[in-house]
């Protein structure tokens, strides 16, 4: 029996900062194609966002929280380096304490990592129910150009074998050793980037195209079979480069593109993108999801839409609910002024 | 600061994270937060746990600002500006105090419909204290 997505939910924090604020403060804005980005309020973090989307995903399905047997959380911006993160979320959503939980926290690919881990659980536990929740709000020094695009957002999914709205047809990955792009040392909570641009881009393009090609080879599928492709969105340019390289019409990126209004949301990037694609995809359409995490790895997941969807609110509704803040307020909320 | 020890905070997790109230087996009223003796009939200590919906209506509210925040909320007020604190009448009956998050302060008013969400309440001893806040429903 097929495994897949039974329901999903998304959340975009209400505050936004526009790229013009950066232009005023720094004289430039360095995230290609990002117009504005979402910012968490003072009392939010990735765990509160993850709890919210897990609840929303559960409320979209006729499955109650006490049936959860597996929970997987993904983020690169966890509030603790050591301490169970999933515990906060499962307690809030009312999942049983005997569910197997895991925290995936060292890569912007962690969202798809959690989906694949959660899905594998269902192979050995056909009656089980998995909730995957990816929430991220990456942080870097305000002096670094990588900081400009960093936003916030979250998506949660209920995976099971019942009431599927999208079947997971298969997945494939690519992993190798790479360094110098986007890393965080153990001694601080800010992303570093050595800005060796071409070197970083070759890893990004190489890993994602290999994972996607591996998957299409094993499924005997081709770009024409997919109506939508969702690719990791550090900015708007990278996914376009990769789609082109894979032989996809860049138009197929449109439905799952969220970076221009939310910013780079790290481990939640591909899953919020997938939710946006699911919001408007037609029955029978296929979606290819390709994540990337520095260091470096990529996962590709192939899905087919098989049921009516009723996620509430939609990604669009969440994006449109907003209040603008200026750069000074942004600095205060990000804890950049001490 | 109104110090709440780690074990004391931990014991309130069912209320703060999950809105677990208690229903009086004698008079049927819902108590939240839990009481030793039912505050409605003043007779029974026999309760059953009940998960509340978290939905309710603003009964009254006040804006906390201009340096008026209690010590554990000073940083929040400085970073995020003044914030509303409300007495909310839950749909199951009890009236509870909580912050209203995610709302334009100008839109907060008596009769406003709200629901609960997990938020960071404050941070003490390096431990993030999570708990419910109200948000516009």
Q: Are B130 and A47 a contacting pair at CB < 8 A?
A: yes
- Return the residue of A nearest to B104 by Cα: A323
Residue with tokens 């969105």: A233
Residue with tokens 């960071």: B120
The C-alpha atoms of residue A319 and residue A258 are separated, in whole angstroms, by 9
Q: Are B120 and A91 a contacting pair at CB < 8 A?
A: no
Q: Given this model, what pLDDT does residue B29 score?
A: 96
| Model pLDDT for residues A147-157, shown as the tens digit of each residue | 999 999 999 99
- Among B60, B117, B95, B49, smallest CA distance to A14 is for B117
In this structure, the dihedral spanned by the alpha carbons of residues A84, A140, A52 and A94, taken in order and rounded to 10 degrees, is 0
Instruction: Give me the residues of chain A with pLDDT under 50, please.
Output: none
Q: What are the sequence ranges of the domains in chain A?
A: 4-166+321-333, 169-305
Structural domains in chain B plus CATH codes: 54-136 (2.40.50)
Chain A: nearest CA to B19, how far in angstroms?
Answer: 9
Structure tokens that stand for B94 in this block: 């009890």
Chain A: nearest CA to B76, how far in angstroms?
Answer: 6
- Among A180, A203, A205, smallest CA distance to A193 is for A180
Q: Given this model, what pLDDT does residue A195 score?
A: 87
Architecture of domain A169-305: 3-Layer(aba) Sandwich (3.40)
Q: Given this model, what pLDDT does residue A226 score?
A: 98
Chain A contact probe: residue of B20, B73, B119 with most A CBs at under 10 A: B119
Chain B contact probe: residue of A16, A42, A133, A325 with most B CBs at under 10 A: A42
**Which pLDDT band holds residue B111 (cuts at 50, 70, 90)?**
very high
Report how many Cβ contacts below 8 Å link chain A to chain B.
51
pTM: 0.97
**What is the per-residue burial (b if ≥16 Cβ within 10 Å, else e) of B72-91?**
bbeebbebbeebbbbebbbe
Q: Are A44 and B51 a contacting pair at CB < 8 A?
A: no
The C-alpha atoms of residue A225 and residue A247 are separated, in whole angstroms, by 12
Identity of the residue in A91, A92, A333 whose CB atom sits nearest the CB atom of B79 = A333
What residues have CB less than 8 Å from A283, skipping those under 6 apart?
A: A305, A306, A307, A308
Residue A129 in contact with residue A95, Cβ under 8 Å?
no
Q: Is A145 on the interface with B (CB under 8 A)?
A: no
Using the Cα atoms of residue A66, residue A70, residue A75 and residue A77 in order, give the sign of their dihedral.
positive
Can you tell me the mean pLDDT for B87-114?
95
Residue B98 DSSP SS3: strand
Q: Are A41 and B118 a contacting pair at CB < 8 A?
A: no
- Return the residue of B nearest to A94 by Cα: B18
The C-alpha atoms of residue A299 and residue B89 are separated, in whole angstroms, by 47
Q: Do domains A4-166+321-333 and A169-305 have the same CATH topology?
A: yes
Above 90 in pLDDT, residue B1?
Answer: no
Chain A: nearest CA to B80, how far in angstroms?
Answer: 6
Chain A contact probe: residue of B55, B120, B123, B132 with most A CBs at under 10 A: B120
A79 to chain B: which residues are within 8 Å by CB? 128
| Model pLDDT for residues A187-222, shown as the tens digit of each residue | 888 999 998 989 999 999 999 999 999 999 999 999
The C-alpha atoms of residue A152 and residue A205 are separated, in whole angstroms, by 24
Structure tokens that stand for A33 in this block: 């194609």
Q: Given this model, what pLDDT does residue A188 score?
A: 87
Tell me B8's DSSP state.
H
B128 to chain A: which residues are within 8 Å by CB? 45, 79
Q: Are A48 and B51 a contacting pair at CB < 8 A?
A: no
- Among A242, A305, A239, A317, smallest CA distance to A277 is for A305
- Among A152, A30, A126, A136, smallest CA distance to A74 is for A136
Chain A: nearest CA to B119, how far in angstroms?
Answer: 6
Chain A contact probe: residue of B65, B105, B117, B121 with most A CBs at under 10 A: B117
Above 90 in pLDDT, residue B105?
Answer: no
Q: Is the ipTM of this complex over 0.90?
A: yes
**What is the per-residue burial (b if ≥16 Cβ within 10 Å, else e) of A174-197?**
beeebeebbebeeeeeebbbeeee
Q: Please give the CATH topology (third level) of the domain spanning A4-166+321-333.
A: Peroxisomal Thiolase; Chain A, domain 1 (3.40.47)
Q: Is A88 on the interface with B (CB under 8 A)?
A: yes
Q: Given this model, what pLDDT does residue A310 score?
A: 74
Chain A: nearest CA to B105, how far in angstroms?
Answer: 12
Residue A272 in contact with residue A265, Cβ under 8 Å?
yes
What residues have CB less than 8 Å from B97, skipping those under 6 apart?
A: B85, B86, B87, B88
- Return the residue of B nearest to A13 by Cα: B102
Structure tokens that stand for A5 in this block: 């997505």
- Among B59, B53, B33, B60, smallest CA distance to B116 is for B53
A88 to chain B: which residues are within 8 Å by CB? 17, 118, 130
A323 to chain B: which residues are within 8 Å by CB? 104
Q: Is A77 on the interface with B (CB under 8 A)?
A: no
Identity of the residue in B13, B17, B120 whose CB atom sits nearest the CB atom of A43 = B120
Q: Given this model, what pLDDT does residue A338 score?
A: 75
Above 60 in pLDDT, residue B45?
Answer: yes
Percent of chain A clearing pLDDT 70 (strictly above): 100
**Which pLDDT band holds residue B106 (cuts at 50, 70, 90)?**
confident
Chain A: nearest CA to B59, how far in angstroms?
Answer: 23
Identity of the residue in A45, A323, A332 whose CB atom sits nearest the CB atom of B120 = A45
The C-alpha atoms of residue A54 and residue A86 are separated, in whole angstroms, by 11
């Amino acid at each position: 029996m097929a495994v897949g997505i039974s329901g999903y939910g998304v959340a975009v924090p209400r505050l936004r900062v526009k790229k013009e604020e950066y232009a005023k403060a720094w004289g430039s804005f360095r995230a290609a194609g990002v117009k504005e980005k979402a910012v968490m309020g003072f009392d939010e973090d990735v765990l509160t966002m993850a709890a919210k989307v897990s609840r929303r995903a559960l409320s979209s399905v006729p499955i109650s929280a006490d049936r959860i047997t597996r929970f997987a959380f993904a983020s690169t911006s966890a509030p603790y380096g050591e301490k169970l993160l999933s515990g906060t979320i499962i307690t809030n959503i009312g999942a049983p304490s005997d569910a197997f939980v895991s925290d995936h926290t060292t890569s912007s690919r962690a969202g798809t990592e959690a989906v694949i881990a959660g899905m594998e659980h269902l192979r050995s536990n056909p009656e089980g129910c998995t909730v995957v929740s990816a929430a991220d709000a990456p942080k870097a020094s305000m002096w670094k150009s990588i900081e400009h695009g960093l936003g916030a957002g979250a998506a949660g999914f209920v995976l099971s074998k019942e009431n599927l709205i999208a079947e997971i047809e298969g997945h494939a990955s690519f992993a190798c050793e790479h360094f110098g792009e986007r890393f965080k040392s153990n001694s601080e909570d800010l992303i570093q980037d050595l800005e060796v641009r071409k070197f970083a881009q070759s890893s990004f393009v190489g890993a994602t195209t290999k994972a996607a090609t591996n998957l299409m080879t094993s499924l005997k599928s081709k770009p024409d079979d997919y109506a939508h492709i969702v690719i990791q969105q550090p900015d708007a340019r990278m996914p376009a480069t990769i789609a082109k390289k894979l032989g996809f019409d860049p138009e197929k990126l449109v439905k799952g593109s969220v970076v221009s209004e939310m910013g780079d949301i790290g481990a939640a990037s591909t899953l919020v993108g997938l939710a946006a694609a699911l919001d408007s995809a037609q029955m029978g359409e296929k979606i290819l999801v390709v994540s990337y995490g520095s260091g470096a790895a990529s996962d590709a997941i192939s899905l087919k839409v098989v049921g009516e969807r009723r996620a509430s609110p939609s990604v669009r509704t969440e994006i449109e609910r907003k209040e603008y803040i200026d750069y000074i307020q942004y600095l205060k909320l990000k804890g950049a002024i001490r | 600061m109104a110090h709440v020890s780690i074990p004391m905070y931990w014991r309130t997790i069912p209320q703060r994270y999950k809105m677990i109230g208690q229903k009086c087996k004698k008079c049927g009223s819902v108590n939240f937060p839990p009481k030793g003796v039912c505050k409605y009939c003043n007779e029974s200590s026999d309760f059953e746990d009940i998960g509340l919906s978290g939905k309710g209506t603003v009964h009254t509210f006040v804006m906390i600002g201009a340096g008026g925040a209690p010590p554990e909320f000073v940083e929040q007020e400085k970073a995020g500006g003044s914030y509303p604190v409300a007495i909310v009448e839950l749909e199951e009956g009890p009236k509870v105090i909580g912050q209203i998050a995610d709302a334009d302060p100008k839109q907060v008013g008596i009769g406003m419909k709200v629901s609960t969400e997990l938020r960071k309440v404050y941070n003490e001893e390096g431990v993030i204290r999570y708990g419910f806040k109200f948000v516009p429903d």
